[in-house]
Structure 1
Amino acid sequence: MFGGGGGGMNPRKMKQMMEQMGIDMEDIDAEEVIIRTGEEELYFTDADVQLMEAQGQKTYQIVGDPESRALSGGDGGSDDTTDDDGGVDPQDIEIVAQRAGVSEEDAREALETNDGDLAAAVADLE
């Protein structure tokens, strides 16, 4: 679209043009991004996130390969992503253990204590 030809536009020139139009771009150092819909979560662990601000509106662009996870019912119902020990998602245990640098047993306990809240579990363990 811009610049003709197959190579696209020089990134520096593109940035100059955006500044002239009053558009600010900023890279966000995100550790994780979760998009929750009615049926699933799209979980990005290694995403590139950019914030673009123009005319007072903020737009976030996420580039990465998400993991799709089904949402559980929330009232103790069982689904295929939970185990038999307290209903904690095994993938969540792995994520918390990796982020906090602890054993999976410690990660499971932290998740159970924090009602499955990944961020709170990691914060408790750090």
Structure 2
Amino acid sequence: MFGGGGMNPRKMKQMMEQMGIDVTELDVEEVVIRTGDEDLVFEDAQVTRMDAQGQQTYQVVGEPESREPSAAAIEGGDGDAGDDADDGIPEDDVALVAENAGVDAETAREALAETDGDLAAAIAKLE
């Protein structure tokens, strides 16, 4: 995991526990990382979650398959492909902006449309 340079894994775990770092192996079926250009899909990835000082860090180990950005939605990979309105703005984004800016969903959707889907810009615009 950390390339302990030949350190005994038990000793490494003991040291991490002393520093307040908790490491957990997660049993995952698939990991998808979406970028503007592609979806990186990891099948049977090894995922480790590390909790340290109130922050969670995830490490993904495996070989990704590169797919077109729309491939996951077409194949039903993310489960919310049909939840978007005709404007293509995800409902999750609308809800997030509405909640953080304290506005209704329609106002949040309009702000997202005006900012080309930029969540932070939409929230800032509404505050």
**TM-score with structure 1 length normalisation?**
0.55
Alpha-carbon distance in 2 for matches of 1:22, 1:61:
18
Contact between 2:4 and 2:12, CA under 8 Å: does it hold in 1? no
SS at match of 2:14: helix
Q: Paired residue for 2:52, among 54, 66, 78?
A: 54
Q: Tell me by how many angstroms 1:33 deviates.
A: 0.1
Percent identity of equivalent pairs: 62
Aligned to 1:117: 76
Question: In the TM superposition, what whole-angstrom CA distance separates every residue of 1:46-70 from its partner, at most 9, and x where no partner exists?
Answer: 1000000000000000000000112
C-alpha RMSD of matched pairs (Å): 2.7
Q: Tell me by how many angstroms 1:71 deviates.
A: 1.7
1:23 to 2:21 alignment = yes
Higher helix share: 2
Aligned to 1:45: 43
The aligned length equals: 79
Contact between 2:32 and 2:41, CA under 8 Å: does it hold in 1? yes
Q: Structure 2 regions of 5+ residues with no counterpart?
A: 80-127
Aligned to 2:12: 14
SS at match of 2:36: coil
Q: Structure 1 regions of 5+ residues with no counterpart?
A: 73-88, 93-110, 121-126
**TM-score with structure 2 length normalisation?**
0.54
SS at match of 1:18: helix
Written as runs of structure 1 = structure 2, the 5 A alignment for 1:87-98 is: none
Question: In the TM superposition, what whole-angstrom CA distance separates every residue of 1:84-126 from its partner, at most 9, and x where no partner exists?
Answer: xxxxx5xx6xxxxxxxxxxxxxxxxxx8xxx642254xxxxxx
Contact between 2:40 and 2:64, CA under 8 Å: does it hold in 1? yes
Alpha-carbon distance in 1 for matches of 2:4, 2:35:
37
Alpha-carbon distance in 1 for matches of 2:65, 2:57:
22
Shift in CA distance, 20/39, structure 1 to aligned 2, threshold 3 Å: same
